[in-house]
Structure 1
């Protein structure tokens, strides 16, 4: 047993007098940590309260409180006229006290003591930068949202109706689902009820639930020749085979889908028909009907993602495939409130009731708590027409930004790129007419304070393209960003 005076308590007990945690609790926690890690093994006698108070330079009453805390938690036992001793299981080879100097009790383990399965499929593809100018794949500008107004609605409901909302409910707010069903009926022609809705936190969560319920390892899923990387990651994690289908100006080639179906079983087709990601091409009405017939004929699921459905400028959007589905072949997923601040957004799944019952089981595992209060806020925003008013106002701004961004691309880069002005969405698909290494171009732009993430770059033997988002940029910002891009393209071409 080591003598109390031999233990270098100052080497592993530090006191932060600016901390909100009381001094006696700081000392108690660090002593407990030392006991748990074997630095103070079974039978170690702790110094007297006066001695330890002098060593740590604190009041004796503080050490009295420390020992009382250790005694109350069962880490030590005290004997009259003998002292205070560490209790616990005896150790055959107690840790040598001198090792305390070489080890910090505050260090958390750098690695696990067990093995586990790792995978690079779900590696985070998103990058971040401190550059002043940033291109993204087409996200709204949260600076346009009336945060104060939404906060007042939230606070008002919290005061008026929080007591009526009830306990946690994985099925979500019935009030919100009822109004969302009506909203989707009016805006997308979906003849659904609240029983056909599952409320999620995001499109990615919706995709995960759908893949867990409807896909099995070895299934074949069809996607566009270029497709949404996050969705592909979820499919790959499930262990399915992903086959790509060619695209043209009318969207995915249905004849090619038919030829694949004639040769093998297809479980699912994933599409973003309103504005295909990443090319922004809209699937024609004729091909939508042909796909529905094919799904019925060959029995595959159509997973329809309504990506960017709310953002259309020149004409009313073509109604979703789900609006014409009479045989239950389409699962429809989307996001609500994408143009609002992140905390006010949510995802949803629309599906027949029988599969919806199974999906609710999975939602109950990964999101049992839900966010009933926020959903109630969104429900009131729909009921009061606030969502429609905001969309109408923001669409005018985004249309102006799309037109100005298109003008800038033509003005600065007409020699280098081809593009079509999209009828909606918040990004423009650009294909390069000259040979250029996009990764090198991106790195050069960073030096001039413009960040272009690798997820926007599409380059292979047959294609060199970028998806450039404009929704988050004001006129001055997009002018500066395009100017930087243009200058670096020209210098690279010399």
Structure 2
């Protein structure tokens, strides 16, 4: 910006401020441009530019033969009052229809800690940025101009085609429509908004994924926690809940249950599907890390065998790429996908075209699956290393117990003692992990409530009970932690685990 431009804008700002503060009244004539130029020791053309700016903004009008005047219809007194208020800042009283309780940014960012046991965190250091950069450069060098305008909110056609081909070949999902979302959380939110209303019920796993619960609850729906055991959710308890009515959705993480890592076996999957058909309940299948399964081929998703068309399949590239890529997708029958696409159009007219086209090229040229194979081998090696480390702690006499997960990116560890307060202690030692408390739909109940429920003594129940207390009571003591093994190398895992065990068992270690 030139010096002349700075001067004319400064003059315009000063005159505007004088008008707002009533130093110059409505309809009052301004000094001529020549006089103002003399008073301010500037060129007349600079003053003319400032006056033209005020005319364009509506503060001043130019009258033939009478020069410039302040316009007549400015609410000057109101402006003065606002200026006085502005000197003592106040908070506007917003009337929220629904007030959100979750933080815009997390209080604790896992990636900031040198020992990051976050269960869903990939090792972003291993992502082939140079390889991906070449695809992005190709996209920018030869852009498809028509695709860069507003258009289909379902996502870029090239990427939809590549993901659909990948799902047909690797996950046996066919005869469904696919839509790309800004991460799987956006898909969960839109589905919730479209299918749920106040009074509806959503069946969820007792231990599960809080962001999904938050999306369901924002609609006014009620969550019903379904009992779990070592094989996953209990179909008998699910049948009891369905029989009570008003359940619209069942949310599941069947391949690697979040957070326990248990794989739901075929028998239970079939029981659950039959119950969903019987009671007309849609299933949201969140297959968040299907790619990483080590001991065998993973069980095909429930969406792969869905004759009733009631499964809504959600997955993401966040575990293979990184969360910031914001590429998730939802697969369902056409009637639902059309409505989700229409809803997304209200939220956001267009997807990130350049990123999606770059990912499509990456998939077309084989880089996607090459990276997948490398990371699967690496994460299996890291799982085995963590298992070896944990077994060595068992041999030292520590009361830890765990099942080796067939896949996924974490181990669900029973510490054998209360872990309340453990997270905060570990953060002070630069270790991030998640504890059972964070995944439990119903927190530990007060002793008097637990005793009253156990004895069925309704007369002794305290006031202000939490809603929808399940008939199966949660454990009184939280003992489990989730140890992610994907994001760290062997040295980092060794050092981090040593801190965890020392913090947990102190002198016993």
TM-score class, shorter-chain normalisation, is 0.7 to 0.9
Give the Cα–Cα distance (whole angstroms) in 2 for the partners of residues 35 and 115 of structure 1: 33
Aligned to 1:75: 59
Residue 223 of structure 1: SS of its match in structure 2? strand
Aligned to 2:408: 425
> CA shift at 1:307, angstroms?
1.6
Q: 1:244 to 1:347 in 2, by over 3 A?
A: same
Aligned length: 466
Give the Cα–Cα distance (whole angstroms) in 2 for the partners of residues 492 and 40 of structure 1: 79
TM-score under structure 2 length normalisation: 0.80
Structure 2 runs not aligned, ≥5 long: 445-475
Q: 1:493 to 1:155 in 2, by over 3 A?
A: same
The answer to whether the 8 A contact 1:147-1:341 is kept is no
The answer to whether the 8 A contact 1:207-1:234 is kept is yes
> CA shift at 1:474, angstroms?
2.2
Give the Cα–Cα distance (whole angstroms) in 2 for the partners of residues 38 and 254 of structure 1: 74
> CA shift at 1:349, angstroms?
1.1
Give the Cα–Cα distance (whole angstroms) in 1 for the partners of residues 378 and 11 of structure 2: 58
Partner of residue 92 from structure 2, selected from 112, 121, 129:
112
Give the Cα–Cα distance (whole angstroms) in 1 for the partners of residues 342 and 9 of structure 2: 43
Aligned to 2:464: none
Structure 1 runs not aligned, ≥5 long: 1-16
Residues 213-222 or 227-236, more deviating: 213-222
Q: 1:436 to 1:179 in 2, by over 3 A?
A: closer
The answer to whether the 8 A contact 2:433-2:481 is kept is no
Aligned to 2:194: 213
Q: 1:447 to 1:65 in 2, by over 3 A?
A: same
Q: 1:436 to 1:211 in 2, by over 3 A?
A: closer
Aligned to 1:242: 223
> CA shift at 1:186, angstroms?
0.8
Partner of residue 154 from structure 1, selected from 115, 118, 136:
136
Residues 262-271 or 236-245, more deviating: 262-271
Residue 142 of structure 2: SS of its match in structure 1? helix
Q: 1:354 to 1:481 in 2, by over 3 A?
A: same
Matched, 1:204 2:191: no
Where do residues 313-324 of structure 1 align in structure 2 (5 Å cutoff)?
Answer: 313-324=294-305
Aligned to 1:181: 164
Matched, 1:134 2:134: no
The answer to whether the 8 A contact 1:456-1:468 is kept is no
Aligned to 2:398: 415
Residue 267 of structure 1: SS of its match in structure 2? strand
Give the Cα–Cα distance (whole angstroms) in 2 for the partners of residues 102 and 111 of structure 1: 11
Give the Cα–Cα distance (whole angstroms) in 1 for the partners of residues 219 and 129 of structure 2: 38
Matched, 1:255 2:236: yes
Give the Cα–Cα distance (whole angstroms) in 2 for the partners of residues 230 and 217 of structure 1: 19
Matched, 1:370 2:351: yes
Matched, 1:329 2:310: yes
CA RMSD of aligned residues (A): 3.5
Give the Cα–Cα distance (whole angstroms) in 2 for the partners of residues 209 and 283 of structure 1: 26
Aligned to 1:7: none
Give the Cα–Cα distance (whole angstroms) in 2 for the partners of residues 38 and 338 of structure 1: 60
